[in-house]
Amino acid sequence: MARTAGSDGGKTQAAIRDAAISLIARFGYEAVSMRQLAAEVGVQAAALYRYFPTKEDLLYDLMTAHMQALLASWQEARPSTAEPAPRLAAFVRNHIRFHVERRHSTHVNNMELRSLSRDRLTAILRLRASYEKELRQILRDGAEQGAFTVEDVTLTAMAIIQMVTGVIVWFRPDERLSVAEVTDTYHKMTMRLVGAREN
Partner DNA sequence: GAATTAATTGAACGTTCGTTTTATTCTTGT
Partner DNA sequence: ACAAGAATAAAACGAACGTTCAATTAATTC
Interacting residue with its own copies among 155, 178, 180, 197 (CB under 8 A):
155
Of 109, 113, 83, 78, the C-alpha closest to 95 is 78
**Per-residue b or e along 65-79, where b marks 16 or more CB atoms closer than 10 Å to that residue's CB:** ebbeebeebbeeeee
| 9 contributes a contact to DNA by CB under 7 A | yes
CA–CA separation, 129 vs 120, rounded Å?
14
| 180 contributes a contact to its own copies by CB under 8 A | no
- The entry of DNA, its own copies, none near residue 40 (CB within 5 to 8 angstroms by kind) is none
For DNA, the closer of residues 16 and 194 by Cβ is 16
- The entry of its own copies, DNA, none near residue 53 (CB within 5 to 8 angstroms by kind) is DNA
- The entry of its own copies, DNA, none near residue 10 (CB within 5 to 8 angstroms by kind) is DNA
Backbone phi, then psi, for 177, in 5-degree steps? -115, 145
**Per-residue b or e along 156-179, where b marks 16 or more CB atoms closer than 10 Å to that residue's CB:** bbeebbeebeebbeebeeeeeeee
Taking a C-beta distance cutoff of 8 angstroms, is the pair 73, 96 a contact? no
Of 92, 86, 116, 75, the C-alpha closest to 165 is 92
Which of the stretches 7-15, 74-82, 123-131, 183-191 binds its own copies when contact is defined by CB under 8 A? Answer: 183-191
Count, residues near DNA per rule CB under 7 A: 29
- The entry of its own copies, DNA, none near residue 166 (CB within 5 to 8 angstroms by kind) is its own copies
Cα atoms in the Cβ-side hemisphere of radius 13 Å centred on 57:
8
| 130 contributes a contact to its own copies by CB under 8 A | no
Interacting residue with DNA among 28, 40, 47, 61 (CB under 7 A):
47
For residue 146, the one-letter residue type is: G
| 126 contributes a contact to its own copies by CB under 8 A | no
Residues that bind DNA (CB under 7 A): 1-10, 12, 32-36, 38, 42-47, 49-50, 53-56
Residues that bind its own copies (CB under 8 A): 26-28, 30-31, 111, 114-115, 149, 151-152, 155-156, 158-163, 165-166, 169-170, 177, 182, 184-186, 188-189, 192-195
